[in-house]
Amino acid sequence: MAQKYDAIIIGGGHNGLVNAAYLAKAGKKVLVLERRHLVGGATVTEEVFPGFKFSVFSYVVSILRPEIIRDLNLPKHGLTILPLESTLTPLPNGDYLYRDGDHFRTLRDIARHSPRDAAAYDDYARWMYHMAKAVKYMLGIIPPDPTTLNPKDLGGLAALGTHIANLGPEQIYMLGKLMTMSSADFLEEWFESDPLKATMSASGIIGTYLGPRSPGTAYVLLHHYMGEIDGAFRAWGFQKGGTGAIAETIASAARSFGVEIRLNAPVKQVLIKNGRASGVVMQNGDELEAKYIVSSLDPKRTFLDLLEPGHVPEEQLAYIRKFNIRGSSGKVNLALDALPNLACMPGEGPHLRGAISISPSVDYLERAYDDAKYGNFSQRPYIDMIIPSMIDPDMAPPGKHVMSCFVQYAPYKLREGTWEEKREAFGDAVVDTLSEYIPNLKDIILYRQVMTPWDIEQVTGLSQGNIFQGELSLSQLFFLRPAPGLAQYRTPIKGYWQCGSGTHPGGGITGAPGRLAALEILKDWK
Amino acid sequence: MPIPTPFHSRTSALCESWEWRNWSGYLSAGLYEPSHEREYYAVRNSAALFDVSPLFKYEITGPDAARLVNRIITRDINKCAVGQVYYTPWCDEAGKVIDDGTVSRLGDNHFRITSADPSMFWFGDCAYGMDVTISDVSSELAALALQGPNARKILKEFVKGVDLDNLKYFRLAEGKFDRHPITITRTGYTGDLGYELWAPAKHAERLWDMLMEKGHGYGITPAGIIALDIVRVEAGLLLIEVDYISSHKALIEAQKSSPFELGLGWAVALDKGDFVGRRALLAEKKNGSKWAFVGLDIDWPALEKLYAAVGLTPRLAGRTSRVAVPVYNKSGKQIGQATSSTFSPILKKYIALATIESQYAALGTPVNMEVTVEYARKQAPATVVKLPFYEPERKKA
């Protein structure tokens, strides 16, 4: 006889775990099923090369919701987010742009490139503060559906309307611009120097299959500003032990509330009885029963893989089939014998404890996108690099280092060949690009792990290797995420729910979809 | 990390207190000696030497320079003669103050503006379509303020080519020291007789050395921000981010102030033609301002009583407090806040700069200001008084 649970969560990524923890905290008997041998999904730390720990996929955290940290008491379970407060943009001519927590020092460095930009920097920050404050509200609510007359949705729309009206005209106009412009054009309204514009606009393209000059990317800039207004964190942080430790922390909190987590437990299908989800079938044929089944997987898997056809109306399935989930980025993780030595800032220094961004100009980023547009990985990609071992010495043996490189673009679908064939060529392009700025790099690499979108899909299960479970474009956000009529964590099947990054408010290590879904499920619970 | 000013080799050798402040990213001495008292009294008694190099400095030149400056500032630049200096605020289109500083008219179309915040972006936007060049000369130009009764005598010892006896208040002159160029403006942030000296950064150390050598017999004393903060309150002078918030930094409307609300109505020339913020300021002039910037004289005997009640005598920090405290009317309703308060050593008074509702701003109005006596919040009676609190004749003579 199958075991009985109140809720089964499919997928032990950070959102699945957050969801499970909230449900269990409310007294439910919850089981998490994870396909792999460890929890985390794309939030994992693995010792791929002996002694060297890689945050294999996601690598930094900025917007893990403070209410989750408090509600689940995560610090007690080991949450330790260390500041990552500088961004260095090395330039091909040997110069650089360096921004850090020292405001005036940062302004001076910007002023070297353009005094006007330095004077505009605070003004831009003030606007982003306002915009983040405006949008933060929307991230924290269940997206009301503007097409129904359901009182709950109408109430939500009215509250949203009031919120927007209270922003005042100036901010509403700016919000309109932010929602429609490209990140490059938006930044152009303040800044003129290329390294600054490019490095800032890179925030607008991360995880999208769009370039800095593609309309809609300005909004994504905001996603990276959110953490700054909560007062809980600095902009970006690094979890001690890598991002996997965040998943472990949430898992530990979930267990403390009684959640059972089963590893090496791949789910084949969701069981449906009399139009209601009743359990799951495991790959090994076992059946498990529960009142609520919650999928933390991406929308494609949630609706197309885990369900037999026929349970969801064809029109809605069509939305899901059209849902944009093109993977566009890869990851290269390096084990290093020594510290990388930057040509623009030689030697050890605080700049190695922050982010290093290969984004010398907007043209550079747009060219990187040009390659991807036509099905090639970027020959000279955008790279966001950190050296975790400089922040947390336990990530590598003493004196040795690990380096994490987020690389864009790497389109999931290559025009020619397969990723298995092109993987090392892609890795070479990344190392060659980095070597232009870090002359000693090739001499100190002990081990190289290349994660293409295909590999990301293989390992984590994220469809097409998309890091956000679906692009963060405006057409796929709020009441459109993941699809019209499916944006409130429910599905057309009673008892079957969604809680992954493919739902509102989207990707990144926020935990917000998992939490909001849990709160909705608990409201639904009878 | 804050960086040194052009005088750092000299100031750091003298800074026995090791108390440094970060002023716009520059290392700025808080005080040189372990106590700021001698530095304070130098301003009122002999001559104090302040390194004010961290000010932002811009030069505006070109055929449209006067037009641009007139568009930015609230005063009428056409009434400012070559060789004259204007203190002025400048506003956004809503008539809210962005910054305040001095504008020196070096030529018909040659201006030097000092500001507290970086201003290239704003000046550049205002200059759209105008034939002007705006250059940031902040790091090229070293700046010192020599303030106090003996300031003129010291300069006369070594500055050539300037008729200092006839250099009037808020006028400028260009001269030489050692063959190096120097601009002298009779300006300052102390409300005393004083001058500000502007010289190429490469000659900064030489300028400092000459001042210290020639000023020795006149009691020249290097002084830091702590002393400056007391004398500027006595002089009734505003400090950005303390007494008001730049409209470019304010996060909500309520944090912004108009020039009228900062006591700078005298510096708003509504009749000069169009300038940024004029329409809003015209409307405010017509409709009245919500807030007023006033001086408060806290009733000392009453303050003594508050302390006496717990067995103490008044215990005030010897420095200016930049912590805003509530101001109440006599019925106990909060009507504003005191943003800078200090004990004035020369006046022997406890004084404050405050922003209060304009209906309470008439001179002589009794109000209460919050004071904390042994951890308990109390209200001390105070009176709205005329600014500046202290104004010696020599300031303008």
Give the model confidence (pLDDT) of B345-388 as tens digits.
999 999 999 999 999 999 999 999 999 999 999 999 999 999 99
Window 246-265 of B: residues touching A by CB (8 A cutoff) are 248-249, 251, 253
Whether residue A108 lies inside any domain: the answer is no
Residue matched to tokens 């910054």: B99
Q: Which domain holds residue A262?
A: 4-43+63-78+240-324+471-524
pLDDT band per the 50, 70, 90 thresholds, residue A59: confident
Give the model confidence (pLDDT) of B113-150 as tens digits.
999 999 999 999 999 999 999 999 999 999 999 999 99
Cα(A465)–Cα(A306) distance, rounded to whole angstroms? 18
Contact across the interface for B118 and A115, Cβ inside 8 Å? yes
> In chain A, which residue's Cα lies nearest the Cα of B250?
A126
Whether residue A160 lies inside any domain: the answer is no
Cα(A300)–Cα(A306) distance, rounded to whole angstroms? 9
Do B144 and B207 contact (CB within 8 A), yes or no?
yes
Residues with Cβ within 8 Å of A523's Cβ and at least 6 positions away in sequence, in order, are: none
Q: What is the pLDDT, as a whole number, of residue A227?
A: 58
pLDDT band per the 50, 70, 90 thresholds, residue A30: very high
pLDDT band per the 50, 70, 90 thresholds, residue A474: confident
Cα(A256)–Cα(A249) distance, rounded to whole angstroms? 11
Neighbours of B65 (CB within 10 A): 25
Please say if the pLDDT value at position A492 is more than 50.
yes
Beta bridge partners of A358: A383
The pTM (predicted TM-score) of the whole model is 0.88
- State ipTM: 0.79
Contact across the interface for B118 and A123, Cβ inside 8 Å? no
| Nearest to A92, CA basis, from A409, A440, A380 | A380
Which residues of chain B have a CB within 8 Å of the CB of A118?
118, 120
Window 17-76 of B: residues touching A by CB (8 A cutoff) are 22, 24-26
Mean pLDDT of chain B: 97
Do A186 and A178 contact (CB within 8 A), yes or no?
yes
Please say if the pLDDT value at position A60 is more than 90.
no
Cα(B103)–Cα(B69) distance, rounded to whole angstroms? 9
Please say if the pLDDT value at position A235 is more than 70.
no
3-state SS, A35-80, equals: CCCCCECCCCEEEEECCEEEECCCCCECCCCHHHHHHCCHHHHCCC
Contact across the interface for A116 and B121, Cβ inside 8 Å? yes
Cα(B101)–Cα(B143) distance, rounded to whole angstroms? 14
Q: What is the pLDDT, as a whole number, of residue A449?
A: 97
Which residues of chain A have a CB within 8 Å of the CB of B249?
122, 126
Q: What is the pLDDT, as a whole number, of residue A3?
A: 60
Do B66 and B78 contact (CB within 8 A), yes or no?
yes
Q: How many CB pairs under 8 A join A and B?
A: 50
Q: Which residue has the higher pLDDT, A224 or A260?
A: A260
Q: Are strands A329-336 and A287-295 parallel, antiparallel or unpaired?
A: unpaired
Contact across the interface for A116 and B124, Cβ inside 8 Å? yes
Distance to chain B for A115, nearest Cα, Å: 7
User: Of A86, A113, A122, which to mutate for an interface test with B (greatest number of B Cβ within 10 Å)?
Assistant: A122
Residues with Cβ within 8 Å of A347's Cβ and at least 6 positions away in sequence, in order, are: A341
Q: Which two tokens stand for residue A160?
A: 């949203």
Q: Are strands A45-49 and A267-273 parallel, antiparallel or unpaired?
A: unpaired
| Nearest to A503, CA basis, from A525, A523, A476 | A476
Q: What are the φ and ψ backbone dihedral angles of A45, each rounded to 5 degrees?
A: -115, 130
Cα(A153)–Cα(A93) distance, rounded to whole angstroms? 55
Contact across the interface for A104 and B24, Cβ inside 8 Å? yes
Domains of chain B from N-terminus onward: 8-55+138-223 (3.30.1360.120), 57-137+258-287 (3.30.70.1400), 291-394 (2.40.30.110)
Q: What is the pLDDT, as a whole number, of residue A234?
A: 46
Whether residue A489 lies inside any domain: the answer is yes
Q: What DSSP designation does B97 have?
A: E
Of A104, A115, A129, the CB nearest to B25: A104
Of B3, B122, B251, the CB nearest to A119: B122
Which residues of chain A have a CB within 8 Å of the CB of B136?
111, 115
Beta bridge partners of B107: B110
Number of domains comprising chain A: 1
Q: What DSSP designation does B84 have?
A: B
What CATH number has the domain bearing residue A487?
3.50.50.60
What is the share, in percent, of chain B residues with pLDDT greater than 70?
100
pLDDT band per the 50, 70, 90 thresholds, residue A232: very low
What is the share, in percent, of chain A residues with pLDDT greater than 90?
78
Give the model confidence (pLDDT) of A304-338 as tens digits.
999 998 999 999 999 999 999 999 999 999 999 99
Cis ω for the linkage preceding B181 (within 30 of 0):
no
Q: What is the pLDDT, as a whole number, of residue A430?
A: 98
Contact across the interface for B121 and A111, Cβ inside 8 Å? no
For CA atoms B220, B223, B228, B231, give the dihedral sign.
negative
Contact across the interface for A122 and B248, Cβ inside 8 Å? yes
Which residues of chain A have a CB within 8 Å of the CB of B99?
none
Whether residue A429 lies inside any domain: the answer is no
Q: What is the pLDDT, as a whole number, of residue B145?
A: 98
> In chain B, which residue's Cα lies nearest the Cα of A125?
B249
Which runs of consecutive H residues, i.e. helices, occur in A436-485? 441-444, 453-460
Residues with Cβ within 8 Å of A220's Cβ and at least 6 positions away in sequence, in order, are: A183, A203, A204, A205, A206, A207, A208, A472, A473
Cα(A89)–Cα(A185) distance, rounded to whole angstroms? 20
Which residues of chain A have a CB within 8 Å of the CB of B3?
105, 108
Whether residue A411 lies inside any domain: the answer is no
Contact across the interface for B122 and A108, Cβ inside 8 Å? no
Distance to chain B for A246, nearest Cα, Å: 32
Q: Which two tokens stand for residue B177?
A: 């020291």
Do B208 and B7 contact (CB within 8 A), yes or no?
yes
Q: Which two tokens stand for residue A325?
A: 């989930």
Distance to chain B for A486, nearest Cα, Å: 36
Residue A446, helix vs strand vs coil: strand
Q: Which two tokens stand for residue B243?
A: 């007494």
Q: What is the DSSP string of A350-382?
A: GGGGSEEEE---HHHHHHHHHHHHTT---SS-E
| Nearest to B299, CA basis, from B330, B331, B333, B335 | B330
Residues with Cβ within 8 Å of A81's Cβ and at least 6 positions away in sequence, in order, are: A61, A64, A233, A237, A238, A239, A240
pLDDT band per the 50, 70, 90 thresholds, residue A230: low
Which residues of chain A have a CB within 8 Å of the CB of B25?
102-105, 107-108
Distance to chain A for B24, nearest Cα, Å: 6
Contact across the interface for A108 and B119, Cβ inside 8 Å? no
> If interface means Cβ-Cβ distance under 8 Å, which residues of chain A face chain B?
102-105, 107-108, 111, 115-123, 126, 129-130, 168, 190
Give A510's Cβ-side CA count (13 Å radius).
Answer: 26
Please say if the pLDDT value at position B232 is more than 80.
yes
Q: Which two tokens stand for residue A489?
A: 């964590």
pLDDT band per the 50, 70, 90 thresholds, residue A149: confident
CB-neighbour burial class of residue A322 (10 A; exposed 0-12, middle 13-18, buried 19+): exposed
Report the amino acid identity of residue B303.
Answer: L
Of A119, A126, A130, the CB nearest to B119: A119
Beta bridge partners of A201: none
Give the model confidence (pLDDT) of B320-329 as tens digits.
999 999 999 9
Cα(A70)–Cα(A57) distance, rounded to whole angstroms? 25
Whether residue A457 lies inside any domain: the answer is no
Do B327 and B256 contact (CB within 8 A), yes or no?
no
Rounded to an integer, the average pLDDT of B260-281 is 97
Whether residue A346 lies inside any domain: the answer is no
Of A104, A123, A168, the CB nearest to B121: A123
Q: What is the pLDDT, as a whole number, of residue B147?
A: 98
Which residues of chain B have a CB within 8 Å of the CB of A119?
117-122, 124
Give the model confidence (pLDDT) of A396-447 as tens digits.
999 999 999 999 999 999 999 999 999 999 999 999 999 999 999 999 999 9
| Strand boundaries in A124-253, DSSP class E | 237-239
Whether residue A92 lies inside any domain: the answer is no
User: Of B121, B128, B249, which to mutate for an interface test with A (greatest number of A Cβ within 10 Å)?
Assistant: B121
Please say if the pLDDT value at position A1 is more than 50.
no
Please say if the pLDDT value at position A233 is more than 50.
no
Please say if the pLDDT value at position A2 is more than 60.
no
Which residues of chain A have a CB within 8 Å of the CB of B253?
168
The reply to whether B136 touches chain A by the CB within 8 Å rule is yes
Rounded to an integer, the average pLDDT of A3-21 is 95
Distance to chain A for B309, nearest Cα, Å: 41
Of B1, B121, B251, the CB nearest to A120: B121
Q: What are the φ and ψ backbone dihedral angles of A521, each rounded to 5 degrees?
A: -60, -40
Contacts 24+ apart (CB under 8 A), B176-180: B177/B203, B177/B206, B177/B207, B177/B210, B178/B203, B178/B206, B178/B210, B180/B206, B180/B207
Contact across the interface for A104 and B120, Cβ inside 8 Å? no
Cα(A37)–Cα(B202) distance, rounded to whole angstroms? 66
| Nearest to A63, CA basis, from A246, A334, A188, A185 | A246
> In chain A, which residue's Cα lies nearest the Cα of B117?
A119
Which residues of chain A have a CB within 8 Å of the CB of B251?
126, 129-130
Q: What is the pLDDT, as a whole number, of residue A150?
A: 87
Residues with Cβ within 8 Å of A137's Cβ and at least 6 positions away in sequence, in order, are: A160, A163
The reply to whether B119 touches chain A by the CB within 8 Å rule is yes
Rounded to an integer, the average pLDDT of A68-86 is 90
Rounded to an integer, the average pLDDT of A128-138 is 85
Please say if the pLDDT value at position B342 is more than 90.
yes
Please say if the pLDDT value at position A229 is more than 60.
no
Which residues of chain A have a CB within 8 Å of the CB of B93?
none
> In chain A, which residue's Cα lies nearest the Cα of B136?
A115
Please say if the pLDDT value at position B24 is more than 60.
yes
Rounded to an integer, the average pLDDT of B91-113 is 98
